Homo-oligomer: A and B are copies of this chain.
Amino acid sequence: MDYVVGLDVGGTTMKGGLVTRDGEVTAFEGRPTGREEGPQAVVEAVRAYSGELVELGTARFGAPPAGIGLAVPGIVTASTAVYAANIGWRNVPASAFVPEGIPTRLGHDVQTGGLAESVLGAGREADDFLFLPIGTGIAGAVIIKGEPYGGARGWGGEIGHAPVWPTGEKCACGQVGCLETYASASAVARRFETRTGRTATAKEVVALAAAGDQVAAQVFGEAVEALSISLATYVLLLDPSVIVLGGGLGEAGRVLFDPLEEQLAGRLAFRDAPPLRQAALGMRAGMLGAALLGWRAAGAFDVGRGWSLDVLRGGRVS
């Protein structure tokens, strides 16, 4: 049976899978990138892992994969990993990550996750939407006509570093008042610790806020307010039909969605707000998007659009 290898390369972990043309998904446990040993070690770790996945697939399906897709961080084109701050590599060609002779395509990590949500996930019914994973950092995938759009050079989607309070707090990126510095999971944890001296994860801060802790409620409230400002700007500029929230904080549920919906509507005077929706694919979005890129590398651009979500849910994890 035809299949591809999908590989989601994060800063610290990479997640691989085998995905058939009909949407049978075999996802594997994550594996460390070993980035503490430098960028060359990460390239070798990716190459070793992709080689193993090719061998596993060949043993199972009787042939090498039709293609390989890789989601990688930083600046990336379809054929080159140009730069990643958290890994340190520069201009690594796609061929360096994979065994010889298999068509390969690279994609930006968040954009590749957005592609998966567009084709298979919460954006299935939408052509134009924002995919916004809220994790350690914040970056978005601008989905236009079903496809992630990166702008002139592919550097777009940096909504996490667009200013929400232009005279606000200094962000680690060097700019001032960025969304990320108020609303990322690490920002929520950091700002709670600054005010209380207590350490807590973002999830714990959200739970404390729901339980009536005033400082937690204030910190979480400022995160929601910052998000509502950024989303209002996005809506006015790009008129999405839906906003898909993902990542750790994006999965906080009604405790996030209720106040965010209310504040976003309150910031839009002459138009309504699009609905907010939770991402459907969770941590697997990157790997599944990478598999779709693998199919595109093999020349198959429509694979995935016909899969039922049940097929995805039924995918076994080995």
A residues apposed to B, CB below 8 Å: 126-129, 140, 142, 144, 149-159, 161-166, 173-176, 229, 232-234, 236-241, 267-271, 274
Q: Are B269 and A175 in contact (CB under 8 A)?
A: yes
A153 CA to B159 CA, complexed, in Å: 22
Kindly name the residue among A144, A162, A166, A271 whose own CB sees the greatest number of chain B CB atoms within 10 A: A166
Which residues of the other chain, B, contact A157 by a CB distance below 8 angstroms? 237
Which residues of the other chain, B, contact A238 by a CB distance below 8 angstroms? 142, 149, 151, 156
A271 CA to B149 CA, complexed, in Å: 18
Which residues of the other chain, B, contact A269 by a CB distance below 8 angstroms? 173-175
Q: Are A128 and B142 in contact (CB under 8 A)?
A: no
Could you list 15 examples of A-B contacts with CB < 8 Å? A127-B152, A128-B151, A142-B237, A150-B239, A154-B239, A156-B236, A156-B238, A158-B236, A159-B236, A159-B237, A161-B236, A173-B269, A174-B270, A175-B270, A176-B267
Q: Are B154 and A236 in contact (CB under 8 A)?
A: no
Q: Are A237 and B158 in contact (CB under 8 A)?
A: yes
A232 CA to B237 CA, complexed, in Å: 13
Kindly name the residue among A144, A173, A240 whose own CB sees the greatest number of chain B CB atoms within 10 A: A144
A158 CA to B238 CA, complexed, in Å: 8
Q: Are B151 and A240 in contact (CB under 8 A)?
A: yes
Q: A173-B270, A267-B175, A269-B174 are in contact. Are A239 and B153 (CB under 8 A)?
A: yes
Q: Are B162 and A239 in contact (CB under 8 A)?
A: no
